[in-house]
């Protein structure tokens, strides 16, 4: 078989001493990087916690999960699961429903009252976190686990950032959001709401903080010039979704037009339907294949009766109507006006043209570079000012909750290393476990479980959660669909097929096997035939040249 990389062994090692003259290659248990782990922006050990979940060890699975991400119940609802896009099983039948199993574990943890582990010795260091959104909360959690005293300041009346003020409750119930945030506070993180930070350096000095992590979300809706009459009702989508957290829902009228093509546009249109709009129409300049909104968001909006006008732009707005111009794409795919206009009845226009971040708190700090609305950071998430770190929406990256959570973890590890004078270093990257290394004849077709969904008739009349979770039996089934790409899962195939009894089976978790596995090769008997490699379902064994 092809050898993806070379491994050399010390000639003085015990393995090197046990060679046979008949053998030119020897087997080696390999720990590879599963593609799901590789694709996760939060850096979760997905394969690891799926293994525990399929064994029914839910608390162990949850503990392994929250070692990287403190929000499994939230992520199981709002993450766009790039891990599933990368899943090798998609080339066999359908990807593993990782996101649904994560939600199951998160919900079980909340039901059982499991608490986040904080066992580190107090470091004596104080860290200020600005922003109680996903990135700030993630950083605070990981810093607290490292033994630091963490204080969060947030300008809003409630914590959660864009998880609360940008994601509607039909996607993320507020009791779930509150419970997972409270668990971080129970771990010893200090939170101050309605407490804006206007000068990051002054706040650092006044509070006696040793480091600062700034994670201000993109909560300012972008505006665009649209000629409008005095009585035209125009608002931005960010304000609309934020107002949903108030005591009185906004009034939009019977016909609502949403201008934009991202996920926020879909959320605004679906929210308008739930607020009683008979018609909610999304106007977008390009075609669906160029729409930045995720397919699932578009599909669910269409199921709920949201209309979408492709290749259209708004020219002007007046009371009760607006003028829409038809567009067409040029050879480069850029929309061009056609001069063809149409009147569209509408009581209000919602602008969903993107979001900006308010960076005024860092504007005049020496060394901090701000351009194109974002703060530039180095590989350790530090800005150009010593001890000031940043992450989430305010740095160059994709703006999703999962990316923000990953930034918080990465920043926390680098802040911890900076405070201790020991720079954080990532572990060496293992080789990627690609589909061609799997022996898929051992696996039968097992299509992915479909998560229950509230029917569309009920969805438009309530803010109840649309996507439902899996029950225990189905969640375990889904976890068992994992192929354990590139890593041993204890199937005993190598032990059973070896013609020379050269595979030693050790007690589970003994850590005495080859490369940390529960098996070892007895090279006094191994002839290097390679049957173990060809019969390993997950591609966790390779042949290497004899030393």
Q: Which residue, of 430, 454, 480, is where some domain finishes?
A: 480
Structure-block tokens of residue 381: 């998430």
Residue 259 sits in a domain of what CATH number?
3.50.50.60
Looking up residue 21, the CATH number of its domain turns out to be 3.30.70.20
Q: Please report whether residue 4 resides in a domain.
A: no
- Is the CB of residue 97 less than 8 Å from the CB of residue 168? no
Q: Model-level pTM greater than 0.75?
A: yes
Report how far apart, in Å, the C-alpha atoms of 183 and of each of 109, 176, 247, 273 are. 11, 11, 26, 34
Task: Indicate whether 172 and 271 sit together in one domain.
Answer: no
Determine the pLDDT at residue 275: 93
pLDDT per 10-residue tile (average), the chain, 547 residues: 39 46 84 96 96 95 97 97 95 94 98 92 96 97 97 96 94 97 97 95 96 89 74 86 85 93 95 94 93 93 94 90 91 90 92 87 90 91 95 90 96 97 91 91 80 87 92 95 92 92 82 74 90 93 88
Backbone angles phi, psi at 210, to 5 degrees: -85, -25
Taking alpha carbons only, the member of 81, 52, 73, 91 closest to residue 479 is 52
d(CA 34, CA 46): 8
Residue 119 inside a domain? The answer is: no
Domain that holds residue 204: 126-219+357-420
> Are residues 196 and 228 part of one domain?
no
pLDDT at 508: 73
Contact 73, 107 (CB under 8 A): yes
Phi, psi of 106 (to 5 degrees): -65, -40
**Strand-by-strand arrangement of the 312-318 sheet:** 312-318, 321-329, 335-345
According to the model, what pLDDT value does residue 356 have? 80
Please tell me the predicted confidence (pLDDT) of residue 333.
84
List the end-to-end C-alpha distance of the chain, in Å, as a whole number.
18
349 shares a domain with 227: yes
What pLDDT does residue 7 have? 38
Q: Give the per-residue pLDDT at 536.
A: 93
Distances (CA, A) of 415 to 44, 73, 205, 412: 20, 27, 17, 5
């Amino acid at each position: 078989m092809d050898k993806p990389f070379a491994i050399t062994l010390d000639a003085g090692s015990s393995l090197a001493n046990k060679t046979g003259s008949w053998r030119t290659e020897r087997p080696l248990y390999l720990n590879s990087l599963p593609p799901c782990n590789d694709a996760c922006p939060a850096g979760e050990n997905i394969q690891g916690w799926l293994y525990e979940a399929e064994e029914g060890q839910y608390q162990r699975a949850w503990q392994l999960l929250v070692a990287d991400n403190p929000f499994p119940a939230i992520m199981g609802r709002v993450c766009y699961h790039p891990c599933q896009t990368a899943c090798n099983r998609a080339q066999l039948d359908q990807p593993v429903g990782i996101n649904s199993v994560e939600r199951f574990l998160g919900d079980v943890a909340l039901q059982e009252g499991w608490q986040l582990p904080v066992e580190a010795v107090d470091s004596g260091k104080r860290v200020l976190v600005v922003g109680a959104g996903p990135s700030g909360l993630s950083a605070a959690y990981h810093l607290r686990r490292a033994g630091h005293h963490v204080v969060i300041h947030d300008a809003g009346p409630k914590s959660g950032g864009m998880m609360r003020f940008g994601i509607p409750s039909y996607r993320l119930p507020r009791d779930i959001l509150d419970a997972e945030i409270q668990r971080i506070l129970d771990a010893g993180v200090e939170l101050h709401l309605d407490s804006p930070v206007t000068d990051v350096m002054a706040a650092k000095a006044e509070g006696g903080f040793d480091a600062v992590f700034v994670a201000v979300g993109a909560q300012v809706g972008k505006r665009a010039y649209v000629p409008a009459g005095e009585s035209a009702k125009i608002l931005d989508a960010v304000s609309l979704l934020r107002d949903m957290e108030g005591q009185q829902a906004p009034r939009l009228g019977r016909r609502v037009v949403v201008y934009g093509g991202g996920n926020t546009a879909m959320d605004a249109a679906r929210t308008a339907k739930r607020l009683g709009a008979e018609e909610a129409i999304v106007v977008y300049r390009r075609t669906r294949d160029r729409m930045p909104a995720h397919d699932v968001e578009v599909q669910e909006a269409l199921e709920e009766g949201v209309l979408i006008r492709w290749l259209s732009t708004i020219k002007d707005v007046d009371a009760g109507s607006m003028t829409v111009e038809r567009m067409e794409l040029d050879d480069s795919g850029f929309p061009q006006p056609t001069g063809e206009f149409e009147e569209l009845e509408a009581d209000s226009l919602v602008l969903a043209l993107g979001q900006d971040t308010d960076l005024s708190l860092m504007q005049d700090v020496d060394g901090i570079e701000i351009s194109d609305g974002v703060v530039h950071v180095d590989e350790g998430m530090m800005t150009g000012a010593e001890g000031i770190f940043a992450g989430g929406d305010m740095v160059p990256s994709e703006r999703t909750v999962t990316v923000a959570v990953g930034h918080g973890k990465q920043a926390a590890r680098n802040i911890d290393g900076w405070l201790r004078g020991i720079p954080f270093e990532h572990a060496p990257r293992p080789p990627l476990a690609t589909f061609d290394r799997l022996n898929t004849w051992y696996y039968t077709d097992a299509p992915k479980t479909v998560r229950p969904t509230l029917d569309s008739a009920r969805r438009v009349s309530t803010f109840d959660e649309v996507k439902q979770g899996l029950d225990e039996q189905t969640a375990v089934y889904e976890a068992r669909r994992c192929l354990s790409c590139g890593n041993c899962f204890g199937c005993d195939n190598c032990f059973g097929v070896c013609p020379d009894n050269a595979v030693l089976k050790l007690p589970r978790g003994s850590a005495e096997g080859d490369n940390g596995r529960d098996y070892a090769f007895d090279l006094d008997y191994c002839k290097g035939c390679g049957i173990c490699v060809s019969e390993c379902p997950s591609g966790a064994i390779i042949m290497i040249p004899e030393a």
